[in-house]
Amino acid sequence: MTDIFGIPLPALMGQLTLGLINGAFYAVLSLGLTVIFGMLRVINFTHGAQFTLGAFGAWMLLNYFKIPYWVSLVIMPLVMAVLGALVERLLLKRLYEMNHLFQLLLTFGLAQMIEGTLAVVYGSSGKPYDNPMPGGVDLGFMFLPYYRGWVVVASLSACLVTWWAIERTRLGAYLRASTDNPELVRTFGIPVPHLMTMTYAFGVALAALAGVLAGPIDQVKPSMGSGLIITVFAVVVIGGVGSIMGSIVTGFALGLLESLTKVYYPPASSVVIFLVMAIVILAKPTGLFGRQP
Amino acid sequence: MTATCAAIEIKGLQGYYGPSHVLHGIDLRVPAGQVVTLLGRNGAGKTTTLRAIMGLLRQRVGSIRINGKETIGLPPERISPIGIAYCPEERGIFPSLNVRENLMLPPVLMPGGFSTDEVIAMFPRLAERFNSPGTKLSGGEQQMLAIARILRNGCKILLLDEPTEGLAPVIVQQIGDVIQELKRRGYTVLLVEQRLDFAMSVADLHYVVEHGCVVAQFSNDELLAEPGRLQKYLGV
């Protein structure tokens, strides 16, 4: 059996696959956060809870209404987008002019309420969600479960479609311009407040999509989002706040880095991303892909 | 002069930035098809007046009629479609967009604007730099781009805030030519300008703004005949 620096190849590839999966979640979640921050200048601390709601929503649809995974994958992002739009319209919108602390309190408070409610109703131990794509394929050097492959493909597609929509379409140009100078964009007759609502809804939909994808990988539990979101914030900072491609590349790269650390020096695996964050902040405060101000 | 031929008519406009009262009852009238300037010292309220017209100044009271329609209560995105466009002093080129995207960003709001080809014919330099980031352009090119992009949308009233500021004489000349061409096409221009010679070379009517009020009004012929009349307001 081939070893790479003392690690058997299948074990290494297995870890790398895990890293790729984690990276996929980092990428999709940090993409949503960065899109929301760019347009609204709000750090969405509810993002993790919205991810969790995506997963729980899929679980509820399956268990109460027998609605299968593939349908939930479409329905939940749409439902969460509507809820997100309501949150922006009814609550967040009132806070744009105020100190950022109030936005933090609102979004963090919402996250606590969502997680707390889910924990009371469903318990904190977690619910299983059946794998919709059992089985896998032997690639020779490793065994790849179909579902894990699907998660990476689906996440990467969501990221690339988002990148294309923002960097290559007219609506995306409105968004980018509004990120630079929202007032001037409004003088061109473009309804920036509506764009802000749509952007928040879209970011929340991405979180929900990631949540539905995550359900079958692990268990569906109230704390699944808050566990992930701390790392995702670090990913956003490393990639550069507001950078679309930065979020995608950094998300996947840090997932891989984390899993490599798990293989070669496990004790460091939980801190390596934060170590990178500290170094990046010291060396390039705008992040790896951020624009210099 | 009837009310219908005023492109912009402002009465008793008061404006505030938070607690500071900056416009103290602006009254002015911009006749359709003319080039009108706002003159005055720095801090007199000229830029604030333009921002108030576009709805960018949040706290404003009084009356601002554009093409006869009252706009004092409207947000910026509903004022522009009445037929008015704005080129800010800092030019407002979007750094996240390349030159082409900056040029094409404002949606066409009504027919009768310049076609993209006409805009490019007017500002050929822009086409050569289409794929550069907007902020990589020189100051003069950025000013060209900032004017060019509001010509496509069909709005026939343009607010230009110090378009010649910090630019070389040859470019100032070019901007003067552009304003003359706009006038030939029936555009109305409200211009904030520090260069008196430039203002007098393009405008029909001048308002002098001081401490947030209009304190004097001259036709261009009056000023050409007696340039000293402005000394009292603009001299230091």
pLDDT tens-digit series, residues B111-159: 999 999 999 999 999 999 999 998 899 999 999 999 999 999 999 999 9
Sheet strands side by side (includes B35-39)? B84-87, B157-161, B188-192, B35-39, B205-210, B213-219
Question: Does B142 touch chain A if contact means CB atoms closer than 8 Å?
Answer: no
Residue A162 in any domain: the answer is yes
Residue A88 Cα distances to A142, A155, A200, B8, B167, angstroms: 45, 25, 7, 36, 43
Residue B189 in any domain: the answer is yes
Residue A128 to chain B, least CA–CA distance (Å): 44
Domains contained in chain A, number: 1
The residues near A72 (Cβ < 8 Å, ≥ 6 apart) are A57, A58, A61, A62, A212
As a whole number of angstroms, the distance between CA A284 and CA A290 comes to 9
Domains contained in chain B, number: 1
CB B45 within 8 A of CB B52: no
The pLDDT value given to residue B1: 45
Residue A132 in any domain: the answer is no
Residue B4 in any domain: the answer is no
Question: Does A175 touch chain B if contact means CB atoms closer than 8 Å?
Answer: no
Residue A245 in any domain: the answer is no
Structure confidence by residue, pLDDT tens digits, A83-95: 999 999 999 999 9
Residue B31 Cα distances to A100, A184, A257, B6, angstroms: 45, 25, 66, 4
Residue B148 in any domain: the answer is yes
Q: Residue A205: give the domain boundaries.
A: 3-123+139-228
CB-nearest partner of B107 from A176, A189, A193: A189
Pairing of strands B84-87, B157-161: parallel
Dihedral sign from CA coordinates of B69, B74, B75, B77: negative
Q: Residue B188: give the domain boundaries.
A: 33-59+73-234
CB contact under 8 A, B55 and A291: no
Which CATH number belongs to the domain containing residue B145 in this structure? 3.40.50.300
Please, what is the average pLDDT of chain B? 93
CB B39 within 8 A of CB B199: yes
- B168: its two tokens: 């070389």
Whole-complex ipTM: 0.92
Residue B152 in any domain: the answer is yes
Residue A247 in any domain: the answer is no
Strand ranges for A103-261 from DSSP E? 136-138, 143-145
Residue B14 parent element (H or E):
strand B6-17
CB contact under 8 A, B107 and A187: no
What is the DSSP-derived secondary structure letter of residue A220? B
As a whole number of angstroms, the distance between CA B229 and CA B37 comes to 16
Structure confidence by residue, pLDDT tens digits, B190-201: 999 989 999 999
Choice between B230 and A49, residue whose per-residue pLDDT is larger:
A49
As a whole number of angstroms, the distance between CA B164 and CA A121 comes to 66
The pLDDT value given to residue B231: 81
Residue B104 to chain A, least CA–CA distance (Å): 9
Write out chain B residues lying below 8 Å of A291, CB-based: 95-96
The residues near B50 (Cβ < 8 Å, ≥ 6 apart) are B38, B86, B159, B161, B190, B192
Question: Does B133 touch chain A if contact means CB atoms closer than 8 Å?
Answer: no
Residue A62 in any domain: the answer is yes
What residues form DSSP beta bridges with A127?
A220
Residue A152 has pLDDT above 80, yes or no: yes
Residue A149 in any domain: the answer is yes
Q: Best interface-test mutation with A: which of B57, B71, B77 has the largest number of A CBs within 10 A?
A: B77
The pLDDT value given to residue A242: 80
Residue B185 in any domain: the answer is yes
- A282: its two tokens: 């010291």
- A263: its two tokens: 């293989």
The pLDDT value given to residue A10: 82
Residue A250 in any domain: the answer is no
As a whole number of angstroms, the distance between CA A175 and CA A248 comes to 18
CB contact under 8 A, B96 and A177: yes
The pLDDT value given to residue A153: 96
